[in-house]
């Protein structure tokens, strides 16, 4: 099951997308739900993981290692500055991961083995319960 999540800076769940089959890539799911276009149109900058590479300029991604210069050399390691940027980026992504963990803490969502439509109903119910508490 693939559910896209938006969290506020405190890690509270703001929005959860309808569920898609688990084999769906995160970037494809975000595009299918119109999330990338909506964030771009609104001018909202977000911190995301490497799965969202190519999402646009408003999506902040971690630094990644450079490709090989030739076939004999190993890929160059990240510099100390790049590692520091990645650490700061991970701290920014923490609240979103907290919202994901909050959803995953519900046993019923960890054991779904059915259609995405049924999973969406359960995710909506759990989201309502999270907001009510």
Q: Cβ distance 62 to 50 under 8 Å?
A: yes
Percent of all residues in the chain with a pLDDT value above 90, rounded to a whole number: 71
Supply the pLDDT for residue 68: 66
For the chain, give the mean pLDDT.
89
Q: Would you kindly state where each structural domain of the chain is located, as residue ranges?
A: 5-62+80-132
- pLDDT value at residue 22: 76
Q: How far apart are CA 29 and CA 92, in angstroms?
A: 22
pLDDT at 95: 92
Task: Measure the N-to-C terminal CA separation of the chain; round to a whole number of Å.
Answer: 25
pLDDT tens by residue, 18-74 = 999 878 899 999 999 999 999 999 999 999 999 999 999 999 999 988 766 655 567
What pLDDT does 114 receive?
A: 81
Burial of 112 per CB tally in 10 Å (0-12, 13-18, 19+) = middle
Specify the DSSP class assigned to residue 69.
Answer: S
CA angle in degrees (0–180, nearest 5) for 30-50-59: 60
Of 46-55, 74-83, 115-124, the one with minimum mean pLDDT is 74-83
The larger pLDDT score, comparing residue 84 to residue 71, is at 84
What pLDDT is stored for residue 112 in this prediction? 83
């Amino acid at each position: 099951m693939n559910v896209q999540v938006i969290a506020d800076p405190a890690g509270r769940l703001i929005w959860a997308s309808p569920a898609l089959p688990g084999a769906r890539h995160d970037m494809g799911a975000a595009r299918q739900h119109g999330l990338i276009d909506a964030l771009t149109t609104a001018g909202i900058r977000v911190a995301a993981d490497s799965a969202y590479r190519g999402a646009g300029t408003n999506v902040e991604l971690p630094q990644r290692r450079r490709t090989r210069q030739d076939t004999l050399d190993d890929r160059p390691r990240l510099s100390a500055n790049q590692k520091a940027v990645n650490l700061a980026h991970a701290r920014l992504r923490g609240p979103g991961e907290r919202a994901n963990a909050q959803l995953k803490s519900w046993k019923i969502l960890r054991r779904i083995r059915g259609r995405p439509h049924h999973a969406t109903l359960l995710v909506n119910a759990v989201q309502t319960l999270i907001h009510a508490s």
